[in-house]
Chain A
Amino acid sequence: MFRTKELTNWSKDLPRVPIKIALSFWMYGVIATFLVLNIPAKFHPLLRLLGLFGLLQRAQEWLLQFFAARYLS
């Protein structure tokens, strides 16, 4: 069923640097959101000060509107 085949790197022609930057932002974004939701409440004012809460909420609202406009209209 699962035989090993010679592999080809299909992504070698992709513009690697922009994609890598985007992926790094994605990873840090996910981990930062996780931190915001899970670190003790006493650190929340600090995160608000850094604008992370507002940024994440806006990103979430934008995503919702984007999907709703695209698939539900």
Chain B
Amino acid sequence: MNLLLIGTLSLVLVGYCIACLCAGAIVIHLLCARASTIKSCSAGASLASALLLGQGILANLWLLVALGGWFKPLFILGLMTLTIVGGAIFIWPNIITFLRQLKSVWSDLRNESLAWQVVALLAILICMAWFTSLGRPLMGDATAFYMALPKVVAAAHRLMPLPGYEAYTQIGLQGEMHYAALMALGGSDAAQLFAWPTIIAGTIMLLAIGSKVGLNRRGQWIVFTCVFTSSAVIYLSGDGKVDLFAAALGLAAYYWATQVGEHRRFLALALTGLFTGFAIVAKFSYIPVLLPGIVLLLVWKLFAYSKDKARFGSSLRSLGATLFQLGFWMLLAILPHLIKNYVLFDNAIAPFSTSGLGWAEQTWFRPETTRRIVLTYPFALTFGQYWGQYGNLSPLVLAFLPLAIFLPKPKSLRDSPLAAITLAALAGLICWVILRPSLLSPRYILATLLLFIPLAARAAEHISWSNPKQQWLSGSIMVGIIVTLVTVGLYFKNITFFPSKTVRYLAGGMSQCERDGVYCRAMEALNEQAEPGARVFLAAYYRYWLRPDLLQCLSGQDEQHIMAQEKTSEAKWLRIHKRGFRYLLADKTTHSKLIESLDTAQPPPWLKIIPIFEVAYLSVYRLDFLDPPSEPQVECRQVSPPAWDLVAHQ
């Protein structure tokens, strides 16, 4: 076993989680309530809230620190240590209570039937299998942006737009800043796994919502199962994308919105606003989905309290004040993101104020396909395999939802938390379908979709407790749950879960490039040859494996745009030379047009192209300029170490 790798991974991942937990506890304490004394809130929900709040706060802190250029490992470590020392006193009593809560869950499970014990075991196994995503090859969007930007931030100790994705750096960087901090502490593997504790915390928030709507242990096991059999959740295991951060923060926002008015109104409102703001920054697609649900839950409360018409006026004023406070806390959570965009792009609300939203304005399908999606929505969410969908909601949700007709109905719907939660989910989903009918991608609105689970779980649990005459229906539920768990476990083995590869990787028997494949090998070859600060023209999307200095000196969006406008092959090569590029990495599957226009087989006489890595679709070339018609205009230099900048050639 590679003890250094395992030790670093465990220490960094666990240490960072504890720092988040303590940071959250400190802020909750400052918001006028000790974390250990949040009444009517279970220990699990308190801990999960503290962890997620700490995540939101640390990500924003790292963002401001990186903008100032002070993102140094020692600074990060020092701040984490201070946070742990300061917050441990608040969080410790909750940990003790949480352990007691787990003991109680265990003893309840021992009194359950064998079938329910099997369900619990399988659900826990699938949750634990997330660790084996360490053996999953990194690929796709994460290697283009979500893991590449943090690698640059960690190495350069500052935040700058990522070359080639300058405009995309306008997005909120909640997940990315955690990755950057973990990488700065030497834990790139920990960064790959960090979505795991995050979704566990998110699931605990959903369980707490479940508890609020009347779920008992069985129902909570069904909720747990539904989350971890949703492929939209599992596909995000260890793939380096950041959607799960928004999902967990969104679920926390929903939970605290249901707490407003019951106790410590100030704390609940503050947390609702902060979590909503963090979730929106983590994923802009949550704006039209999360906000309507949160506002609906608050308005719902107004109706619940205004049965007496005389009180309606004061309730309306109270709602106004509530929404004002919500807006204040949301703005506070979003402020660092606005500062980031103002400093880097001179436009605080980018990309929303730019003419035509560019990448933010997306339509994925033609009208016929969009109509088909909208007409089959619950089925498309559960079984759809559309382009870019990247996973579904658990089939158990669709299977169990109709069982709700057997649920006892409350005398008044406005007194039912289950109705409030489900309508909040429905309102969000309807807004999404109206505004973005063509975007069928559960990860864009995951928190809202997961909010449908409590209704399905409540219905299935109710049937499972029903009288012996209904046993065949409850038997069907049990069969459905177990079959789904087994199928999901088997299906995702060697898709997202790689147990044997993880063992080999941890044992040191497998290098990163053996795990990640051809792109990693190509960039490793380039890393070995290229001198510090060499410029690489990247005719490809993926870049994570490049050396940090090469990542900072890569071709930018403007350079690629200008290149595309040049008419002849020779003019393009001359432009490459003038911009100081010395290497070319070309993916023929994604950038064939550009590569053909460069005509690498017949370069101009003053250029020698030397291949240093070639497979079927991926090539890396060294460009030797022998006697070019002009001198380079720019070069990449360490003006303020350790960062690299493009400067005029000397």
Binding site for B on A (CB under 8 A): 1-11, 14, 19-20, 23-24, 26-28, 30-31, 33-35, 37-40, 60, 63-64, 67-68, 71-72
Contacts and interface: CB of A to CB of B under 8 A. Distances in A.
Contacts, number: 103
B376 interface: yes
Nearest to B305: A1
Contacts of A2: 212, 258, 262, 304, 415-417, 420
Interface in B272-328: 300-301, 304-305
Contacts of A33: 383, 395
Given A1-B261, A5-B410, A34 B487 contact: yes
- Across chains A and B, which 7 residue pairs bring their CB atoms closest together, nearest first? A2-B417, A34-B395, A7-B408, A30-B399, A10-B409, A27-B399, A1-B301
Of A31, A34, A67, most buried by chain B (CB within 10 Å of CB) is A34
A38 B487 contact: yes
Given A1-B301, A9-B408, A34-B383, A20 B473 contact: yes
Interface residues of B, number: 48
B70 to A, nearest CB: 45
10 contacts: A1-B258, A1-B304, A2-B415, A2-B416, A2-B420, A11-B406, A27-B477, A35-B483, A39-B490, A72-B371
B399 A31 contact: yes
Contact of A64 (B375, B385, B408, B480): B375
Of B371, B417, B480, most buried by chain A (CB within 10 Å of CB) is B480
B5 to A, nearest CB: 33
B484 interface: yes
Contacts of A20: 470, 472-473
B400 interface: yes
Interface string B466-502: 0000101100110110011001101100000000000
A32 B372 CA distance: 22
A68 B371 CA distance: 9
A36 to B, nearest CB: 9
A1 B300 contact: yes
B572 to A, nearest CB: 44
A39 B491 contact: yes
Given A1-B301, A38-B491, A23 B473 contact: yes
A8 to B, nearest CB: 6
A5 B412 contact: yes
Contacts of B399: 26-27, 30-31
A37 B416 contact: no
A1 B410 CA distance: 14
A10 B518 CA distance: 61
B561 interface: no
Interface of B: 212, 258, 260-262, 300-301, 304-305, 371-372, 375-376, 379, 382-383, 385, 395, 398-400, 402-403, 405-412, 415-417, 420, 470, 472-473, 476-477, 479-480, 483-484, 487-488, 490-491
Of A4, A40, A72, most buried by chain B (CB within 10 Å of CB) is A4
Nearest to B398: A30
Contacts of B375: 64, 67-68, 71-72
A57 B211 CA distance: 39
Of A7, A8, A72, most buried by chain B (CB within 10 Å of CB) is A7
A63 B476 CA distance: 24
A27 B483 contact: no
Contacts of B476: 24, 27-28
Contacts of A8: 408-409, 411
A32 B395 CA distance: 10
B409 A7 contact: yes
A63 B58 CA distance: 49
A64 B377 CA distance: 11
Nearest to A24: B476
A72 B376 CA distance: 13
Given A30-B395, A35-B483, A5 B383 contact: no
A35 B487 contact: yes
Contacts of A68: 375
A3 B379 CA distance: 34
Contacts of A4: 415
A6 B408 CA distance: 10
Contacts of B262: 1-2
Of B395, B483, B491, most buried by chain A (CB within 10 Å of CB) is B395
Nearest to A29: B399
A11 B466 CA distance: 13
Contacts of A6: 411
Contacts of A37: 383, 385
Contacts of B260: 1
A31 B402 contact: no
A30 B477 CA distance: 12
Contact of A27 (B406, B409, B480): B480
Contacts of A26: 399, 402
A34 B103 CA distance: 35
Contacts of A39: 487, 490-491
Given A34-B383, A34-B484, A64-B376, 13 more contacts: A1-B261, A1-B420, A2-B304, A2-B416, A7-B409, A27-B399, A31-B480, A31-B484, A35-B483, A37-B385, A39-B487, A71-B375, A72-B371
Contacts of B398: 30
A7 B472 contact: no
Nearest to A67: B375
A27 B375 CA distance: 21
Given A2-B415, A30-B399, A19 B405 contact: yes
Contacts of A60: 376, 379
Of A3, A14, A31, most buried by chain B (CB within 10 Å of CB) is A31
Contact of A24 (B300, B405, B473): B473
A20 to B, nearest CB: 5
B376 A63 contact: yes
Contacts of A23: 402-403, 473
A31 B395 contact: yes
Contacts of B372: 64
